[in-house]
Amino acid sequence: MKMVSFEEVSRFKVDKSVQLTLQDGVCKVSGKLGAVTKTFRNNYVKVEMDGDSVILSVSRKNKSTRAIAGTWESLIKGMMNGVTKGYQYEMKIDYTHFPMRVSVKGNEVIVENFLGERSPRKAKILGSCSVSIKGDRIFISGVDREEIGNTASNIERATRIRGFDLRVFQDGIYLLGGN
């Protein structure tokens, strides 16, 4: 059997305030705000630790494997940033025709009286995200950027308008931005 050799593409240091462990392609990053775990598996790209550095290596030097290595590097750096500083997205509750009520119950965001509907619309809160409502703003915060983005997407998708003229009925909950 032919032995495959890997060539180093990227190397970066791990923050002192972060504990990073790699085992069988599973990366766990722990910090003062919490922990994030992601799986990194590919036949041509490898992630490993060397002291306090993370090394990304590829066995084939082509555009695809370099792109995967670059994506993995930014994901791991984002995980380290999330467990030290955290992420927060802000959404705006916008209505003109019917005053909607938005509340958080358990792991769901409940939108009542949306366009005068009798049954409430629900959006699932993923993972360890925390959702708070202050006036006409919804704040989603946590350590995993992917979970926060998917939660914001669930909330926005729950208030999607069908069957009305979108130029007239602009009611809904929309993403303003995040850090």
Is the CA virtual torsion 125, 110, 120, 136 positive or negative?
Answer: negative
Provide the mean pLDDT of the chain. 90
Mean pLDDT along residues 16-29: 91
Q: What is the pLDDT of residues 35-84, one digit of tens each?
A: 999 999 988 898 988 888 999 999 888 899 999 999 999 999 999 999 99
* 119: its two tokens: 């049954």
Report yes or no on whether pTM surpasses 0.85. yes
User: Where residue 108 falls among pLDDT bands split at 50, 70, 90?
Assistant: very high
The residue to which tokens 């995200």 are assigned: 129
What is the set of domains in the chain, with CATH numbers? 7-84 (3.90.930.12), 87-178 (3.90.930.12)
Per-residue burial over 80-104, b if 16 or more Cβ lie within 10 Å, else e, is bbbbeebbebbbebebeeeebebee
The mean pLDDT of 106-110, rounded to a whole number, is: 94
Identify the sign of the CA torsion 79, 80, 83, 85. Answer: negative
**H helices within 3-101, ranges in order?**
63-84
Share of the chain above pLDDT 70, in %: 98
Radius of gyration of the chain (CA): 21
